[in-house]
Structures are given as C-alpha cells and as structure tokens.
C-alpha cells in the first residue's frame, strides 16, 4: 500500500463482511497499511438491508496521528446514541460514509434531514463530522423504484459549520484544515 500525496492517509473502506453465516455492512479503518479495526453498521437504512445483514452493537474509537475518531455508517448517524458513545469515548472526528439511493419525490426531504442530523451530531458532541455520499445516475432503477444518489458530501466543524462541501451531484475530493490542537484535546 502506498502513501497518498497528502501523507499517511487514513482510509475507511466499506465492504460486506462475512462472519460465519452472517453478513455485516462494515467499514475497515486502515492507516499506514495496518488495519486499525472494523466497524459494523448498527441501524438498518432499508428493508432490503434489514433482510440481508446482521447489525453490529460495538462503537469502537480508533486513534491515528494522535487523533481519536469513530465511524458511523449511513443510518447510524440519525439516532443520538452512536455518535454520543463515540464522543464519550474520546472521538473528536466522526466519519459518516453513506450510499444513499433515494426515490425522486423524497430526495430533498431526505437531504435536509440527513444534513441537519449531521449538524446536530457535530454540535451536541463537540466533534467534527465528515460525511461522504455517493453520486449515481438519475432515474436508474434499483430494487422497486427509480431514484438517484445525490452526493452532498461535506466536512463540518464542531459548531456544525461547513468547512468544505462537494455540493449536490458532484464527485471529487474535499479537504479542510482542522486545528490539531482542538482535535487532540480531551
């Protein structure tokens, strides 16, 4: 594994994890070619997911480069408890990877609710929140309905203020400078 041009990047890689006969929607946390750990999604985002996966009950905090952080996958960012547990355990950044594929009539309501949930998680837990979401082709049929992935990736500071945003239907890299002193305080 090579270092990216930004230095010793931390990668969060989503995958379907099999443990025995059960499947989990999980994310591997990797730093300097070392697996720091795995987080498994705790809350279902759809009935399809509920039928296909077993859900995790652990909310691990990882540490790299002196900063403690956690991961919540998609629907895990809606309830208060996952982010609260991570913050209580010392996390200063919460990474929230998503793969939203939303029906056309519900897209804007979903986008506003999700964004407001992330702002609330940042403020109530005094954490930075980094949301990455997919962009998919509109009107592609997936399951029983047509919809699309709208993107809207962003980085919020601990006051819920956007420090970087990709925008709707936009792919690419976004970065923000978080004060290391703030991220390392207890």
pLDDT tens digits for 49-87?
899 999 999 999 999 988 999 999 999 999 999 999 999
Rounded Cα gap, residues 75 and 73, in angstroms:
6
Does the structure show a pLDDT above 80 at 140?
Answer: no
pLDDT at 3 over 70: no
Q: Which has more confidence, 7 or 44?
A: 44
Q: What is the pTM of this model?
A: 0.91
| Res 142 pLDDT > 70 | no
- Asked if 24 and 54 count as a contact pair (C-beta separation under 8 A), the reply is yes
Burial class (CB in 10 A: 0-12, 13-18, 19+), 94: buried
Query: Do the bridges between strand 128-132 and strand 67-71 make them parallel or antiparallel, or are there none, so unpaired?
Result: unpaired
Q: Is the pLDDT of residue 146 over 90?
A: no
**Residue 139, pLDDT score:** 66
β partners of residue 30: 11, 35
- Report pLDDT for 28: 97
Reference 103, options 161, 142, 58, 151; nearest CA is 142
Q: Which has more pLDDT, 5 or 95?
A: 95
pLDDT interval class at 114 (50, 70, 90)? very high
Pick from 32-41, 52-61, 148-157, 175-184: least confident: 175-184
């Amino acid at each position: 594994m090579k270092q990216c041009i930004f230095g010793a990047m931390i990668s969060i890689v989503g995958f379907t994890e099999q443990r025995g006969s059960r499947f989990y929607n999980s994310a591997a946390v990797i730093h300097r070619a070392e697996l720091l750990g795995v987080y498994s999604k705790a809350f279902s985002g759809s009935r399809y997911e509920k039928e296909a996966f077993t859900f995790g009950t652990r909310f691990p905090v990882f540490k790299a480069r002196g900063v403690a952080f956690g991961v919540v996958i998609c629907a895990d960012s809606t309830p208060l408890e996952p982010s609260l547990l991570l913050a209580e355990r010392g996390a200063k950044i919460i990474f929230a990877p998503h793969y939203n594929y939303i029906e056309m009539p519900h897209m804007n309501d979903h986008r506003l609710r999700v964004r407001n949930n992330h702002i609330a998680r940042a403020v109530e837990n005094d954490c930075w929140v980094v949301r990455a979401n997919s962009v998919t082709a509109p009107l592609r049929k997936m399951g029983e309905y047509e919809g699309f992935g709208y993107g809207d990736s962003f980085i919020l500071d601990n006051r819920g203020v956007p420090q970087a945003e990709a925008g709707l239907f936009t792919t690419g890299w976004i970065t923000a400078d978080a004060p290391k002193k703030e991220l390392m305080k207890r």
